Amino acid sequence: MPHAVIVDVVRTPSGRGKPGGALSAVHPVDLVAGVLTALLERSGLESRQIDDVLMGCVSQVADQSLNIARQAVLAAGFDETVPAVTIDRQCGSSQQAAHFAAQGVIAGAYDIVIAAGVESMSRVPLGSNAHGGTVSQGVAHRYPDGLVNQGVSAELIAQKWGFSREQLDAFSAESHRRAADAWTRGAFDAQVVLVWGGGPEAVAFDETVRSGTTVESLSGLKPAFRTDELAARFPDLDWRITAGNSSPLTDAASAALIMSEDKAAELGLTPRARFHSFAVVGDDPMMMLTGPIPATRRILERSGLSIGDLDAYEVNEAFASVPLAWQHDLAADPAKLNPWGGAIALGHAVGASGTRLLGTLVSYLEATGGRYGLQTMCEGGGMANATIIERL
Q: What b/e string do you get for 63-79 counting C-beta neighbours within 10 Å, with b at 16 or more?
A: bbeebbbbbbbebbebe
- Is 91 a residue of the active site? yes
Half-sphere exposure for 82 (CA within 13 Å, toward CB): 24
- Is 57 a residue of the active site? no
Q: Which of 3, 99, 276, 348 is catalytic?
A: 348
> Which residue from 284, 45, 12, 324 is spatially nearest to 174, judged by alpha carbons?
324
Read off the amino acid at residue 167: Q
Q: Which of 3, 57, 99, 378 is catalytic?
A: 378
Q: Which of 3, 57, 91, 276 is catalytic?
A: 91
Helix (H, G, I), strand (E, B) or coil at 178: helix
355: left (phi over 0), alpha (psi -120 to 50) or beta: alpha
- Is 348 a residue of the active site? yes
Helical spans, DSSP H, in the chain: 28-43, 68-75, 93-107, 137-142, 150-161, 165-184, 215-219, 228-233, 261-267, 292-303, 321-330, 343-346, 353-368
Angle at 131 between CA 353 and CA 74, to 5 degrees: 50
Return the bridge partners of 256, or none: 9, 115
> Which residue from 347, 321, 324 is spatially nearest to 337, judged by alpha carbons?
324
CA quadruple 358, 361, 365, 368: dihedral positive or negative?
positive
Catalytic residues: 91, 348, 378
